[in-house]
Amino acid sequence: MRYIGKMLRATIEWQRSPESKYEFTAKYEGRHYRLRLNDFPVEPICTLIWDDGEQDLEEFGPNWSIPFHKPK
């Protein structure tokens, strides 16, 4: 969990995932991550997913850049 806290404080540039408009990808400290937007407020705001785990998050990292989907 400490590593997640460090990641939440890091500056991360998320990219759109080709699989879903509700998922984003990023590389942090040599590992690949996915960020899935959930059905907020019924569920946590997002889920951070990596090779061997996942963690629900109640907030985004303040220094994260996420290209949100904007309706036309």
Length of the chain: 72
Q: Check if the beta carbon of residue 68 is closer than 8 Å to that of residue 17.
A: no
**Could you read off the pLDDT of 9-38 as tens digits, one per residue?**
999 999 999 989 899 999 999 999 999 999
Closest of 38, 40, 45, 53 to residue 4, by C-alpha: 53
pLDDT level of residue 65 (50, 70, 90 thresholds) = very high
- Residue 17: its pLDDT value, please? 93
pTM of the model: 0.85
